[in-house]
Chain A
């Protein structure tokens, strides 16, 4: 099946710094990718929809200026957490729908555990 690679898997940063998380579709092209956030013992909450070549669509309550999303190519989307604070500590997961015959299945990255100290 298709593979989505997310990097890094774990990152610790200081409060006030920025962190970039990459999401790559390794063997298919993804015009749309999704970024989720998962709090401990909770479900995945959609943060934003990343669209190749255009601006991301953010869910209500998600700060656009804090969570910068760039989808510059059909295989790469990045999420940058700017001026991170401890409350941003969470597990971030990306996903992508493959086109064509695989379009009925979402593939997920391994997730990134962000800890802001």
Chain B
């Protein structure tokens, strides 16, 4: 069975400080891992993904995430938070097998960047 855990419902960080949004996953075989961001009443916007290769993945808006196979984690990070980064963030996983196109989402983490 596939699953994603985002242990923090809410993360608050001061503007300019580094931020981390945590994600751990469970999947059979190799994972495809994703981060999406959602603004109020909007669909999901893609931030970044890990498919294979370098464990450190760089994405949109200065975000990055590190794939850690031994800890089954894929934490989202940004060196310096902006107020405009305040949104709902979802981690998602998909099994890396043909035909397994469904994404499993975490429960989401609401990030608030304080001016």
A residues bordering B, Cβ < 8 Å?
Answer: 1, 4, 6, 9-10, 32, 34, 41-44, 46, 49, 91, 93, 95, 97, 104-111, 113
CA distance A66 to B40 in the complex (A): 27
Verify if B13 is at the interface (C-beta below 8 Å from A). Answer: no
Bound-complex Cα distance A83 to B20 (A): 44
Name B108's closest neighbour in chain A (CB-CB).
A43
Q: Are B43 and A113 in contact (CB under 8 A)?
A: no
Which residues of B are interface residues toward A (Cβ below 8 A)?
32, 34, 36, 41-46, 49, 51, 90, 92, 94, 101-103, 105-108
Q: Is B42 in contact with A106, judged by CB distance below 8 angstroms? A: no
Asked if residues B90 and A108 are in contact (CB atoms below 8 Å), the reply is no
Q: How far is the CB of A2 from chain B (nearest CB, A)?
A: 10
Closest 9 CB pairs between A and B? A108-B44, A111-B43, A108-B43, A110-B43, A43-B107, A43-B105, A44-B105, A97-B101, A104-B51
Q: Which residues of A contact B106 (CB under 8 A)?
A: 43
Given A42-B107, A106-B34, the answer on whether A49 and B102 have CB atoms closer than 8 Å is yes
What residues of A have a CB within 8 angstroms of the CB of B101 in the complex? 32, 34, 49, 97, 106
Smallest CB-CB separation from B103: which chain A residue? A106
* Cα–Cα, bound, A49→B99 (Å): 12
Question: Which of B41, B90, B103 interacts with A111 by CB under 8 Å?
Answer: B41
Question: Which of A9, A41, A44, A108 gathers most chain B CB within 10 Å?
Answer: A44
A31 to chain B, nearest CB (A): 9
* Distance between B41 CB and nearest chain A CB, rounded to angstroms: 6
